[in-house]
Amino acid sequence: MNCITNVMPSPSRTPVAKNDHDVQGRDETREPHYEVKETADAFGVTVTLPGVVKDGLEITADENRLIIVGKRAWARPEQWTEVYRETSDATYILELTHENSIVPEKVNAELRDGILQISLPKVAAIKPRKISIA
């Protein structure tokens, strides 16, 4: 069976701060929430990347891996004096493997409102085909 699996599933998705107010100035590395769906022609991956914009996103697909790296940077206007914040800079990393089942040249992705949609077309050899009976 061809499938897509997570290379390094993390035991904890969100790092724990030392106390409730200890997130200022931190750059956290996180595994984003994601889901994988399959149709006859492609795999679909949906990844939640809050605060990540197109310029902060890098996607790499090769013969057997899909790697997603997204960076979220907190940009505060110069005229602001920070009193308190619970958000922090973050790097999201997700590495999925597959069994040589996709066509890397035909992978496409769309990022909208922090949701990344990736379509991974299957190679012709693994697509189910209807067999006619003589």
CATH number at residue 36: 2.60.40.790
C-alpha to C-alpha distances, 46 to 33, 49, 83, nearest whole angstrom: 9, 10, 35
Residue 71 CA to residue 57 CA, distance in Å, equals 6
Residues 6+ apart with CB under 8 A from 50: 72, 114
Residue range 21-30: average pLDDT? 62
pLDDT surpassing 90 at residue 48? yes
- Domain assignment of residue 60, yes or no: yes
Residue range 77-93: average pLDDT? 84
- Domain assignment of residue 57, yes or no: yes
Domain membership of residue 94 as a residue range? 4-8+25-75+84-126
pLDDT surpassing 80 at residue 98? yes
Confidence of residue 18 (pLDDT cuts 50, 70, 90): very low
Q: What local confidence, expressed as pLDDT, does residue 3 receive?
A: 65
- Domain assignment of residue 18, yes or no: no
Q: What local confidence, expressed as pLDDT, does residue 127 receive?
A: 64
- Domain assignment of residue 44, yes or no: yes
- Domain assignment of residue 70, yes or no: yes
* Top mean-pLDDT range of 5-9, 21-25, 28-32: 28-32
- Domain assignment of residue 63, yes or no: yes
Q: What local confidence, expressed as pLDDT, does residue 14 receive?
A: 42
Residue range 34-38: average pLDDT? 94
Residue range 42-49: average pLDDT? 95
* Domains in the chain, number: 1
The dihedral through the CA atoms of 71, 20, 17, 82 has a sign that is: positive
Confidence of residue 7 (pLDDT cuts 50, 70, 90): low
